Amino acid sequence: MDTAEIKQRLKRASHIVVVTGAGVSAESGIPTFRGPDGLWKHYRAEELATPQAFAKNPELVWEWYCWRRGIISKAKPNPGHVAIAELESRYNDFLLVTQNVDGLHRKAGSNKLVEIHGCIWQARCVKCNAIEQDNELDYRNIGPCSRCGGRKRPNVVWFGEPIPPTRLNSAFSAAESCDLMIVAGTSGIVQPAASLPFIAKKAGAYIIEVNVDTTPISAIADLFLKGKCGDVLPGLYS
Ligand code: APR
């Protein structure tokens, strides 16, 4: 299908959902999780991104998240993020569901978004659940909860934890009612985000996948656009 047809397809659509993963932030210099130099190559997820790991060694977990914050704090949104924010402005019925916690979609101007795995720039009290903005880059300066003095944890969803129902419901209902879904920069293996394209497909949506590699989603994608998000996404509407 040539780009003119893709643009036509986008023009005809009226309910758009975009699902993104770490690949959309790769060109901003943020390592992905499972790519050739992915984060999980250097760390075992179980040792860092689980409630058990935090209970066992909160300093180690905070050290890893503050290290990631350091990388993210130097990162800028790339043309892929900007393109998604531009797409949002062209449709009334639009939702971005991102698995990323880096906050770059918001920085690029996306407003209609669900950060299903939370946000690295927030901390949550394990005692009273208060959520605070937290931009600390040095884990040794992470203080207690300002409300109750309890220990704070990164306000992100860890392996084995449920995604808050409000976020999940908005993502699933949008997938069930969209007529076009763009899936960009995700390996499509972590649930429940990995189910969204299958739900949309079943509901009759047209699925466009943007990735440098094929994924389990490629089998059901109506259109697989091989390439970097920063190169491919701006071409979808310009
Ligand atoms: N453009 C498009 N796709 C890219 C690019 C790029 N520039 N760079 C990498 N990719 C693709 C890779 O081919 C891969 O399919 O992005 C995907 C990144 O996959 P993962 O590293 O598995 O990231 P993601 O899919 O977001 O992981 C989901 O797993 O560890 C958890 O919570 C973490 O949110 C994360 C979730």
pLDDT above 90: residue 119: yes
pLDDT category at 3 given cuts 50, 70, 90 is: confident
pLDDT band at 5 (very low <50, low <70, confident <90, very high): confident
Q: Output the pLDDT for position 2.
A: 72
Q: Which of these, 25, 13, 4, lies nearest to 207 by C-alpha position?
A: 13
Percent of the chain scoring above 90 in pLDDT: 89
Q: What phi and psi values does residue 114 have, to the nearest 5 degrees?
A: -120, 120
Q: Whose CA is closest to 6, among 219, 209, 185? A: 209
pLDDT recorded at residue 40? 84
At 39-84, the pLDDT tens digits run 888 888 778 999 999 999 999 999 999 999 999 999 999 999 999 9
Give residue 4's pLDDT.
80
For the question of whether the overall pTM of this predicted structure is more than 0.85, the answer is: yes
Which pLDDT score is estimated for 186? 98
Would you say the CB of residue 23 lies under 6 angstroms from ligand 1? yes
Q: What is the pLDDT of residues 193-231, one digit of tens each?
A: 999 999 999 999 999 999 999 999 999 999 999 999 999
The verdict on the CB of residue 157 being under 6 Å from ligand 1 is: no
Q: Please say if the pLDDT value at position 8 is more than 90.
A: no
Whether 31 lines ligand 1, by a CB cut-off of 6 Å, is no
Identify whether the C-beta of residue 126 lies closer than 8 Å to the C-beta of residue 99: no
Distance 21 CA to ligand 1 centre (A): 5
Q: What is the pLDDT of residue 45?
A: 79
Distance 183 CA to ligand 1 centre (A): 11
Q: Which domains are assigned to the chain? A: 3-30+76-117+163-236 (3.40.50.1220), 32-74+120-156 (3.30.1600.10)
**pLDDT band at residue 6 under the 50/70/90 scheme:** confident
Nearest to 209 by CA among 18, 71, 27: 18
pLDDT at 1: 64
Q: Determine the distance separating the centroid of ligand 1 and the alpha carbon of 39, expressed in angstroms.
A: 10
42: annotated active-site residue: no
Give the confidence band of 102 by pLDDT, cuts at 50, 70, 90: very high
Alpha carbon distance, N-terminus to C-terminus of the chain? 16
Cα–ligand 1 centroid distance for 90 (angstroms):
26
DSSP states of 132-169 as a string? EE-----GGG----TTT---EEEEEPPTTPPPPHHHHH
Question: Between residues 156 and 1, which one has the greater pLDDT?
Answer: 156
Distance, CA of 177 to CA of 93 (rounded, Å): 10
**Average pLDDT across the chain, whole number:** 95
Res 232: pLDDT: 96
pLDDT of residue 126: 96
| Ligand 1 in reach of 171 Cβ (< 6 A) | no
Look at residue 208 in the predicted model and tell me its pLDDT: 97
Q: Is 28 in the pocket of ligand 1 (CB under 6 A)?
A: no
